[in-house]
Amino acid sequence: MTLQIGLQLFSAKKAFVNDRLGTLKRIEEIGYKNIEVPVDFSGKDLFGIGELKASDLKEMTEQAGLNIIATHVLVTEESQFDKVIAYNKELGCEKVIIPIAFFKNYEEVIAFSETLNRYGKQLQKRGMKLYYHNHFHEFQRFNGQYAMEIILEHTDQELVGVELDTYWALRAGIDVNAYLEKLAGRCSLIHQKDLPASVTPINLFEMLDEREVITLETFSQFGKPENFAEIGEGVMDIMSIIRTAEKLKDIQYIIVEQDATAKDELESIRISYKGLSRLIEKVLEGTA
């Protein structure tokens, strides 16, 4: 299976807020055909893109010639999940992704895993699939186990998949390719960005006490533009990630997600599209 390139719309959130349809059309002109869309069901607009009705989103993406491959959904209460299901059903979108969670202890990871199973079961009944998207802190240890390992162990793989963010796994000191192999059969999407050569240490746990509670505030200090590079302009071995993904066959999409950039957003995603396309082409040609 040849990897398809996608874009997480969060990467162009400011442009999207200013001109929704125009931004979607520009994304398609750059070369993207597949997008993930962040949708906040908490009512707090934590993604910063305002209210986004499913009917409006569907109409705009169709006009722009874009395919919605997944939604990233923020829910703060389980009762909000009925709206998630209805929204994705209206879009015709089969993949629903929980983009982040924070944990104080082992028990909270177990409870979260049980919630994922419940969400996943609801989606499965309607022909959809749930995924969890990692950052670095899921590789904090509780009772000697990574939180991510606890989640994998206590969720049903038929109900809950993984969207591996390779950058954030690397920032946790993880061997990304080995972890992709570990996730074989469970991971069908990966997020990709790049790491500037100036960032040190790469492993954030070298800066943190692994026993401390990692909160959104803790996490946010690592989300500044200087911590990210466009694909092809940093030091991540993205070529090897592509090779591993191609070998595993299960991974359908490699999705550009630029958490933050000092560049113009649309220029940033253009650079990453060009860089990622070139790397995939080299791998397929066997020149790398």
Range scoring the smallest mean pLDDT among 48-57, 93-102, 234-243: 48-57
For tokens 């790491």, the residue is 195
Residues 6+ apart with CB under 8 A from 112: 101, 103, 151
Mean pLDDT of all residues in the chain? 96
pLDDT of 260 higher than 90: yes
State residue 56's pLDDT score.
Answer: 96
pTM exceeding 0.85: yes
State residue 87's pLDDT score.
Answer: 97
The mean per-residue pLDDT over the stretch 146-157 comes to: 98
pLDDT of 251 higher than 70: yes
Tokens of 219: 């996490």
Report residue 288's pLDDT band, with 50, 70 and 90 as the boundaries: low
Report residue 43's pLDDT band, with 50, 70 and 90 as the boundaries: confident
Report residue 44's pLDDT band, with 50, 70 and 90 as the boundaries: confident
What distance in Å separates the CA atoms of residue 6 and residue 193, rounded to the nearest whole number? 12
State residue 1's pLDDT score.
Answer: 56
Report residue 286's pLDDT band, with 50, 70 and 90 as the boundaries: confident
The mean per-residue pLDDT over the stretch 110-137 comes to: 98
HEC assignment per residue over the chain: CCCEEEEEHHHHHHHHHHCHHHHHHHHHHHCCCEEEEEEECCCCCCCCCCCCCHHHHHHHHHHHCCEEEEEEEECCCHHHHHHHHHHHHHHCCCEEEECCCCCCCHHHHHHHHHHHHHHHHHHHCCCCEEEEECCCHHHCEECCEEHHHHHHHCCCCCCEEEEEEHHHHHCCCCCHHHHHHHCCCCEEEEEECECCCCCCCCCHHHCCCCCCCCCHHHHHCCCCHHHCECCCCCCCCHHHHHHHHHHHCCCCEEEECCCCCCCCHHHHHHHHHHHHHHHHHHHHHCCC
Residues 6+ apart with CB under 8 A from 62: none
The mean per-residue pLDDT over the stretch 261-266 comes to: 98
The mean per-residue pLDDT over the stretch 22-36 comes to: 98
What distance in Å separates the CA atoms of residue 147 and residue 152, rounded to the nearest whole number? 9
State residue 287's pLDDT score.
Answer: 64
